[in-house]
Structures are given as structure tokens and as C-alpha cells.
Amino acid sequence: MDDSHHLVHQVSNESRASIAESLSEFFDAHEVLLSASSSENEVSVQNTRATKLFHVDCCMYVTTGLVENGSVLYQRRSCLPSPSPNSSTISLWNILRNNIGKDLSKVAMPVHLNEPLNTLQRLCEELEYSELLDQAASTQDPFERMVYISTFVVSGYASSYYRTGGKPFNPVLGETYECDRPDKGFRFLAEQVSHHPPISACHAESKNFIFWQDVRCKNKFWGKSMEIVPIGTTHVTLFGDHYEWNKVTSCVHNILSGQRWIEHYGEITIRNTSSDVCHVNEIEGTVTDKKGKVVHRLFGKWHEAVYCGDPPTATCVWRASAIPVDFEQYYGFTKFAIELNEPHPSLKLLLPPTDTRLRVDQRLLEEGKLEEAEEQKQRIEDMQRQRRKTLEESNVTHEPKFFRYGQNV
């Protein structure tokens, strides 16, 4: 593998207080609002990989609530504070007609078209079914382990099935997101490490696995559909085995009128860098040994379940959790997604000011305050453009806080 321009662990001994102080430049401290971002020199996304990183301490969660010294302090929420807005009055055609075939990540969109989650939080959603990695770590059979890894990869798409109504907020440079889930056994941290091109890096670890990736998405409008093309590689290590895979292209159909639906297409190749390989295409997959012999067959639906074997005796490896009954009113969020942006007051003392949960425009949208959310979103974007211009004129390059470019560790 090419070791140039890899994102690796940024060693730091700073306390949370010093981290908050040093990152305050990205925020309006008075309003706890993300401030302007900057542009850094473009790097080759194909040659970047996110690996181990420094992870600051954050609060501990369990399924039933925040835990401190063994005591449950509050119940995790099961519903968003406000339903999703009616975006039917927004003329997407007027916005998109001049941008057909272009990368929409550079096109300003009204806040009505967003969902109250951030791209960094969407990366954390890929770990909703992290128990599949725990199961992979518990088996000694390398081919059975690949079955669980492959199923985990497929499960990362399940939450998108009902999410055709909105797009996540784009993080500004230096924005972060932390998630500590003892109930699931993992700790997660993500950071926006580049602005042009926009690159998000994340890292999660538990006693059973380490998960990391850096990703850039190109969004293109083709008249009736919008295509999301991810660039980057995702990695998992389990007891010395290193797995890596690509992501497929996603497409939202009927973007302007009619019933929207989402499609994922392309082939995922999952490699254990020491031996076996799995190819997944339209949720028909094969686990092969290094000689190409098929050991296991997988099939199913990416938003429902994955089976191993041949019908009718196949075994169900994974089944998606039930969606909340009122999901259509609340952005199509799963229970796990509803919990990601929870703003409990106790978090404010524990999180750095760059954390996504402190973004005012995103929070205002979640609360249904659309005009205020739009105003703040525009203000952040204006400040971001100005900061980028200032740093470019000064020839200053942004340095990520928790990742750095270099060789893998």
C-alpha cells in the first residue's frame, strides 16, 4: 500500500480545557456557534487513510441513559423535539437547474433541505450494528468472521432507506463529533480534516475492534436524480486481521417530484489483507479463500436482513431494528439516529466547543425554528468563505487536531 498522505494518530497531551481554548477560533464563544472554516491544500483522497487518533475523554452512555459512577442521570430521548418541516414549497428545480452534473457540495442549499444531523454523525451511524463486529471477533473461523464483517458493511446502509427527504449538514473545517457508547462497547471520534476537498475522518475502538475511515462524497444532480459518490476506504482490525473495503454509489430518485426512493449500486470488495475476500453486489455475496474457492454465500436486502447459505436452510445473520412508528414525521430517523444529536446540558461541560451538537443552525432546525436556522446557516457559510479567503491570502494551511498526514501507525 502507498504510505503517502495517510491520516494517522495525532499525539497530544493537552487537557480538555486547552483543547477547547485552542479550538475556540472555530466558534463564536458567546453563542457556542461554529464560526468560519478555512481551506487547506488539496490532498489526494485516494491516497489518504484515517488511522489511530488521539481521543479526548467524553461522557459515558448506556442504552437507558447517561451513567456517572454507576447512576443513571437521565433517560435517552426517543423522539426529536419537532417534526420535519414541509419542504414541498421549496423549488428544487430553481436551485438545481444550473448545477446539473456539478458537485453539489459546493452549492448553497436552503436549510429546509437538511436533516438535523451532520455528516460526522452520519459516519457514526455506520456503527449502529457494531455487535456484528463483536461477533466477528468472537469466532475463530476466518471465513465465518468474514461473513460477519460483510454483514456489518451491508448494515451501514440500512438507516438510509427512509432518509430521502433531507441531506446532512456539511461540517466546517475543524468540526468534531464524539460518541461514547458503553452499551455498545465503542468510543467514536470524527473530525472534518479538509475543506477543499471536503474530507471527514473518523476513528472508533472497542475491546474487540478498531474502525477507521476518511471519506469524501461527490454529490451530482442529473435532472431527476441525485447521485452520491463516496471516495475513500474503510478499515477494521480484529485481533491482528485487517479488513478494508470501498463504498458503493447511492442515488436518490424522483428528486423533484413523485415518490422519492434510494438505490445503492456497485460492488463492494472486502479484503482481509492477509487472506480471504468477499464480494458483495446487490446483496448477493460470496466469501472466497485466497485461491478463489467459494466458502460462504450471502444474500438478502440491505434495509431488512442478510442471510448466509442457500434457501430454504439459510441462516439469518442480521436483521434491521424496527423503525419508530412515527418515522415519517421525523426525517425517517432510526432510534439510534434520534440519539446522536441529544443536547443534554451536562454534555456542554464535557464536550469541546467544536462538537457538532453545539452547532446553532443544526440545533435550530431540530427545534423547528426554520427562519432562525436559515439565518445562522447563512452566517456560518459567509464566515467560512471569509476565513478561507483570509487564510489563503496568508498562505496558511489548516492542521487537523486529532489526525495528521503521514505514515500509518
Enter the C-alpha cell of residue 220: 451530482
Number of domains in the chain: 1
Domain encompassing residue 372: 6-406
**Residues 159 and 336: beta-carbon distance below 8 Å:** yes
343, part of any domain: yes
Contacts of 158 (CB under 8 A, 6+ apart): 128, 129, 302, 303, 304, 320, 334
3-state secondary structure of 73: strand
Least confident range of 151-155, 177-181, 251-255, 295-299: 251-255
Indicate the pairing of strand 167-169 with strand 6-9: unpaired
pLDDT at 220: 82
3-state secondary structure of 166: coil
User: Averaged over 288-310, what is the pLDDT?
Assistant: 94
pLDDT tens, 66-122?
Answer: 444 444 455 789 999 999 988 665 666 677 777 777 776 667 788 988 999 999 999
Distance CA 172, CA 28 (A): 13
CATH code, 372 = 2.40.160.120
pTM for the model stands at: 0.82
88, part of any domain: yes
Averaged pLDDT score across all residues of the chain: 80
Contacts of 380 (CB under 8 A, 6+ apart): 33, 34, 35, 36, 172, 359, 361
pLDDT tens, 60-74?
Answer: 332 234 444 444 455
3-state secondary structure of 35: coil
54, part of any domain: yes
What is the percent of the chain with per-residue pLDDT over 70, rounded to a whole number? 78
Q: Residue 343's closest CA among 326, 324, 365? A: 365
pLDDT tens, 41-57?
Answer: 333 333 333 333 333 33
pLDDT at 55: 32
1, part of any domain: no
84, part of any domain: yes
Angle at 123 between CA 156 and CA 174, to 5 degrees: 170
313, part of any domain: yes
pLDDT tens, 177-232?
Answer: 999 999 999 999 999 999 888 899 999 999 999 999 999 988 888 878 889 899 99
User: Averaged over 10-22, what is the pLDDT?
Assistant: 36
Bridge partners (DSSP) listed for residue 194: 199
**Residues 229 and 220: beta-carbon distance below 8 Å:** yes
